[in-house]
Amino acid sequence: MDPSLILDGLNDAQREAVCAPDGANLVLAGAGSGKTRVLIHRIAWDIDVMGASPFSILAVTFTNKAAAEMRGRVENMLNQPVQGMWIGTFHGLCHRLLRQHWKEAALPQGFQIIDSEDQVRYLKRLIRGLELDEAYYPPRQVAGFINHHKEEGRRAAAVPLARDPKYAEWVRIYQTYEDACQRAGIVDFAELLLRAWEMLKSSEPLRAHYQKRFQHILVDEFQDTNSIQYSWLRLLAGGHKNLFVVGDDDQSIYGWRGAKVENILKFERDYPGAKTVRLEQNYRSTGNILKAANAVIDNNDTRLGKNLWTDAGEGEKVRLYAAYNEVDEARYVVDQIQKSVDDNRRRDESAILYRSNAQSRVFEELLISAGMPYRVYGGLRFFERAEIKDALAYLRLMTNRDDDVSFERVVNTPTRGIGNRTVEIIRDIARNNSISMWRAASQAVNNKLLPARAANAVNTFLELIDSMAAERNEDDLEGAVNIVLEYSTLLEHYKSDKSEKAQAKTENLEELLSAARMFEFDEEEGLGELDAFLSHAALEAGEQQGAEWDDCVQLMSLHSAKGLEFPQVFLTGMEEELFPHRNSMSDAGKLEEERRLCYVGMTRAREQLFLSYAESRRLYGQTHPARPSRFIDEITEELRDRVRAAGPARSGIVGYGGAAASAFASPMRKTGVEVANGIKLGSRVRHAKFGDGMVTNYEGSGESARVQVNFEFAGQKWLVLAFANLEVVS
């Protein structure tokens, strides 16, 4: 193959990385320096030039999105589908290993994956079962404790015993949880990694097999790896040590969830002679933006050192807006976006970034009243919705009756006369006999351990699940979902409810049917279709709702913005205590991570970067004076332009909290705006009987469209557009 096809268009450093000899290679890739590109070209290089078989390649990412993108781009580049290559997330790949070697991993064949929410719910049950006070052992924190230890490769028995008796109890909960999961055949996210690692570590033949198979291991976002992921890689690359890792220590922002930047340093130590390549040329931002970002990150002491540069021009200076309060800040931002839209720029060229999600509200309110469509990242995803998880729980019980998490979830959903007391009795039996809830329930029924009425209800439930399983056709996934929706009466339950919410839930359940219909089943993993679907649901919670193709202003937290870029970026809420966040200010390490977060935010901008802070901010219902963030001071003065807030507080700002604000008491997170006949979200409309009001929400379109209007005097009403005869005013 002709190497030039792969090397063309790469700069020197990129090229050096792509065709580096086998062995340990570390690519320190600054923001916007083409890191994904290097990774993809490297894979192509291995296959096309070095003649590696796709079977010998293992490429690891952190998100499904990144994995899918990488696969697509590699195939594009090689102009053919790559078969046999493993590209996926750490969790996805470990899952695959465990499915293929469930015996060696000591798991039941039909093991199920639980997500973080399930994990916390389950822990809560177990903590109660141990008769411990939830107030002293908050399930969330216990989950964090357990996950932390798992990420460090420690099982409950291996957690060093501390003098603190409270801590000993935590370990006891961990042990209880570990046993319970094993019994129920469920595996949490951290367990996927830990199990796979333990399996490879303890089984010499398996380890040898995969070490031999994966001659080329590539890792994206290496700075985000935690300890167990690092060990996992080390194990797999044990023989040949052909590890090609790409990362940026300056963009490490997930230390709080176990990521270890130190792994980059460790890498150079653990693989002596590792080659390091720095990618410092940035293809994204203009000079001033880069200089400003460099100036900020330069204040961190623990850096490997890197300086981004560009040969694009200086561009505009960074603009700084000092707002009176958060509403003024939002108004300024929305005004600026309006200006660029008037300038024929797309709305999705603008991104509003913030440190914490609570800050999105004010922006949403003002965007609605400006009639500007927007999209907020970071809500619940499809497979995380309660009604979807209910349906999935039925499916899971069908394939694994011992799945206690699912049992608890749906035993009385929808209500079928199995009350708390009854469930408690079953739980006790399960605990006392170390059996699953399902078995305990059938014992309770058979041995007459329940009052007649309860026994009857429980029995009906057991038979329901059995009949669902019996009715199901192995190779008809959609049919299985249909059976669940019908037999469980979930759909009926929501359909009979005429409320807004219930209707949305009905639609979601119907969407689940089509998700099942569209599911692309890959038989080679040795899984049944249903199990594959359930694993898929757990590992890929699904897209954020909201149509990507809509032209919407983008709102997201700084963390969610990593990896993205926008021509125009608004970095808002640049205030001490908010950003850097108050919880991260006292610890030097945490503060540096905040600074990196700032660096990540700034380097999202291609052409224009706006920073803003408010002198007074209302947060959690209380107004506090605020000081500008230290990060602002760290930007050299000549790189920024201070945009003055125009004059003293204006009536428009101060008066905002009145009638208009109350109209937005509950902003809906909608992405579209135009409803019909010139009526938009935020439009002022007049109704013959109710008077004037503002459109705050809508659903449907055309004839059947309904809009929600907040009338100044008549309050909130839903109106069918075709009948309401609304007139748009001013």
Partner DNA sequence: ATCGTCATAATTTTT
Partner DNA sequence: TTATGACGAT
Q: Is 524 helix (H, G, I), strand (E, B) or coil?
A: helix
Helices (DSSP H) in 152-261: which residue ranges? 165-184, 189-202, 204-213, 227-236
Supply the minimum distance, in Å, between the C-beta of residue 97 and DNA: 13
Classify residue 49 by its DSSP letter. I
604 included as an active-site residue: yes
Provide the token pair at 200: 């490879």
CB closer to DNA out of 419 and 526: 419
Rounded CA gap, 193 and 212, in Å? 20
Nearer to DNA, 13 or 490 (CB): 490
Shortest distance (Å) from residue 14 CB to DNA: 26
Q: State the Cα–Cα distance between residues 563 and 601, nearest whole angstrom.
A: 10
Q: What is the 3-state secondary structure (H, E, C) of 226-251?
A: CHHHHHHHHHHCCCCCCEEEEECHHH
CA-based nearest residue to 377, from 351, 407, 346: 351
Whose Cβ is closer to DNA: residue 140's or residue 209's? Answer: 140
Dist. CA 93–CA 89, nearest whole Å: 6
Are 681 and 381 in contact by the 8 Å Cβ rule? The answer is: no
Q: Which of 14, 89, 215, 251 is catalytic?
A: 251
Strand 691-699 to strand 684-687: parallel, antiparallel, or no bridges (unpaired)? antiparallel
Minimal distance, residue 137 CB to DNA, in Å: 12
**Tokens at 693, concatenated:** 């009001």
Helix count (H) and strand count (E) of the chain?
30, 21
Q: Which residue(s) pair with 569 in the sheet?
A: 351, 609
Marked catalytic residue, from 220, 408, 575, 592? 220
Q: Which of 125, 604, 670, 680 is catalytic?
A: 604
| Helices 139-151/165-184 angle, 10° precision | 80
Q: Of these residues, 36, 109, 489, 503, which one is catalytic?
A: 36
What is the Cα Rg of the chain in Å?
28
Q: Which is nearer to DNA, 309 or 377 (CB)?
A: 377
Instruction: Give min distance, CB of 540 to DNA, in A.
Output: 6
Q: Which residues bind DNA (CB under 7 A)?
A: 62-65, 89, 91-92, 115-116, 124, 134, 189-190, 256-257, 355-358, 361, 377-378, 412, 415, 417-420, 539-541, 556-557, 559-560, 581, 583-584, 590, 594, 618, 620-621, 665-666
Q: How far is the CB of 727 from DNA (least distance, A)?
A: 29
- Rounded least distance, CB 220 to DNA, Å: 12
Structure tokens at 318: 């960074």
Torsion angle in degrees (nearest 10) through CA of 338, 341, 346, 350: -30
User: What sign for the dihedral angle of Cα 514, 520, 523, 524?
Assistant: negative
Tokens encoding 421 = 């007391």
Q: Which is nearer to DNA, 84 or 419 (CB)?
A: 419
Closest CA to 399 of 484, 457, 458, 461: 484
**Active site (annotated) includes residue 251:** yes
Element of type H or E holding 561: helix 558-561
Q: How far is the CB of 647 from DNA (least distance, A)?
A: 27
How many CB atoms sit inside 10 A of residue 102's CB? 18
> Which is nearer to DNA, 17 or 192 (by Cβ)?
192
* Closer Cβ to DNA, 46 or 387, answer by number: 387
Residue number with CB closer to DNA (10 or 120): 120
Amino acid at 375: R
Measured from the CB of residue 329, what is the shortest distance to DNA in angstroms?
A: 17
The residue with tokens 């080659």 is 275
Q: Please report the DSSP string for 691-711 in residue order.
A: EEEEEEEEES-GGG-EEEEEE
Q: Of 221, 328, 348, 404, which residue is the catalytic one? A: 221
Q: Which is nearer to DNA, 93 or 639 (CB)?
A: 93
Which amino acid type is present at position 54? P
Structure-token match 């001659």, residue found: 215
Tokens 């216990």, located at residue: 142
* Least distance to DNA, CB of residue 215, Å: 24
- Which token pair is 564? 């993205």
HSE (CB half, 13 Å, CA atoms) of 403? 29
Is 415 designated active site?
no
Coil, strand or helix at 148:
helix
Q: Which of 61, 288 has the CB closer to DNA?
A: 61
At residue 628, φ and ψ (nearest 5 deg) are -60, 145
Q: How far is CA 201 from CA 5, 211, 245, 632, in A?
A: 40, 12, 22, 48
Q: Mark whether 134 is an active-site residue.
A: no
Phi, psi of 568, rounded to the nearest 5 degrees = -125, 120
**Cβ proximity of 679 and 707 under 8 Å:** yes
- With vertex at residue 283, the alpha carbon angle to CA 282 and CA 284, rounded to the nearest 5 degrees, is 100
Separation of alpha carbons 690 and 709, rounded Å: 10
Contacts of 406 (CB under 8 A, 6+ apart): 112, 392, 393, 394, 396, 397, 400
Minimum distance between the CB of residue 125 and DNA, rounded to whole angstroms? 10
The residue written with tokens 């290089």 in the block is 45
Give the Cα separation of 533 and 392 in Å (integer): 10
Residue nearer to DNA on the CB measure, 450 or 679: 450
Indicate the residue among 139 and 315 with the shorter CB distance to DNA.
Answer: 139
Q: In whole angstroms, how close is the CB of 430 to DNA at the nearest point?
A: 19
Q: Among residues 118 and 349, whose Cβ is nearest to DNA?
A: 118
Shortest Å, Cβ 174 to DNA: 18
Active site residue 35: yes
Least Å distance, CB 719 to DNA, is 23
- Active centre residues (catalytic): 35-36, 220-221, 251, 604
